[in-house]
Amino acid sequence: MLNDPRRVIVDVANVSKHFGEGDARVDALKDVDLSVQAGEVVALLGPSGSGKTTLLNVIGCIIAPSTGKVTLDDEVVYDNQWLRDDLRKLRLDKIGFIFQFHNLLPFLDAKDNVALVLKLAGKSTAEAQRRAIELLDYLEVGHRKDAMPALLSGGEAQRVAIARALANSPRIILADEPTAALDSKRAGIVMDLMRKLAAEQDACIIAVTHDEKIYDRFDKLFHLRDGQLDGEEGDAT
């Protein structure tokens, strides 16, 4: 089952999310349906305030939707009024996050930033360090494993952040503007790397982006407008 590339990893069904009540009510998501299969790399596109980040937060188990059903890797996270109570563990085990500005912890070196996630998952220090170095080497930043984040270039820091996101071999990788801080050449390299990893780890990647230069690196582009899915472009490559 795990090796079935057509298996749905993320299933968002009829999800709505509103903030506030009465006159102050804001509908951030309206009846959104979205499915992402293993190995797929998809983008959420749309203008500012269209609900991209809210949808990313719902899929990332950071906020609960108001209605609808969310299933991640065959585990129901939310079903109308019911919400799982171990979302932190679920995030740790199944989801990797990549941020616009890498968000590496400034007081840990590159290796320990990656190893931290493995330590949190209960791995021994030696095992965590070994896996961290392995990932950094794979992402070609192994030579910078002892460098503090402030001393890394933008591209190096983003690769370390990707290594951290992949440390626990998550099935879902959520990326918020992953290439916004990179030039077009490095953005292309990072996206190719993410595609390769998604394929190798049988994971799916959902990215919020405004970077038109990398649209061709996605399998699908989902357009959001006013909290609703406005359209889908399949197989952008």
Partner 1 sequence: MNLAYRDVRHNLFRFVLTCLGLSLLMAVVLAMIGIYNGLVADALNIVKAPRVDLWVVESGTQGPFAEASKIPGGTRDAVTRLHGVAEAGSISYQTVEAPFRGETLRLYVIGYEPGHPGGPEAISAGRGISQSHFEIVADAKSGLSVGDVIRLGRDPFTVVGLVEDTTNSAGDPAVFITLRDAQVLQTQLAPSAQRVQEARGAGLLESQDSVAAVIARLEPNADPHAVAQTVRQWKHLGALTQADQESILLMSVVDRAKRQIGLFLGILLSVSAVVIALIIYTMTMEKLKQIATLKLIGAPDRTIVGLIVQQSIALGAVGWSFGLILILLVKDYFPRRVVLEPINAAALAGIILFVCIVASGLGVRAALKVDPATAIGG
Q: Which pair of structure tokens corresponds to residue 185? A: 């050449």
Tell me the residue length of the chain.
237
Closest by CA position to 32, among listed 47, 18, 48 = 18
Specify burial of residue 6 (Cβ count, 10 A radius: 0-12, 13-18, 19+): exposed
Please identify which residue in 119, 210, 223, 225 interacts with partner 1, judged by CB under 8 A.
Answer: 119
Give the span between the Cα atoms of 152 and 160, in whole angstroms: 9
Please identify which residue in 106, 126, 212, 235 interacts with partner 1, judged by CB under 8 A.
Answer: 106
Q: Is 53 in the site for partner 1 (CB under 8 A)?
A: yes
Please identify which residue in 116, 133, 189, 236 interacts with partner 1, judged by CB under 8 A.
Answer: 116
b/e sequence 24-61, b meaning 16+ C-beta within 10 Å: eeebbbeebebebbbbbbbbbbbeeebbbbbbbbbbbb
Task: Please choose, out of 74-82, 95-103, 151-159, 198-206, the segment that lies near partner 1 by the rule CB under 8 A.
Answer: 95-103
Binders in 147-176 for partner 1, by CB under 8 A = 148, 164, 176
Q: Is 112 in the site for partner 1 (CB under 8 A)?
A: yes
Work out how close the CB of 52 gets to partner 1 at its nearest, in angstroms, rounded to a whole number.
7
* Interacting residues toward partner 1 by CB under 8 A: 52-53, 56-57, 60, 62-63, 88-89, 91-93, 97, 99-100, 103, 105-108, 112, 115-117, 119-121, 125, 148, 164, 176, 208
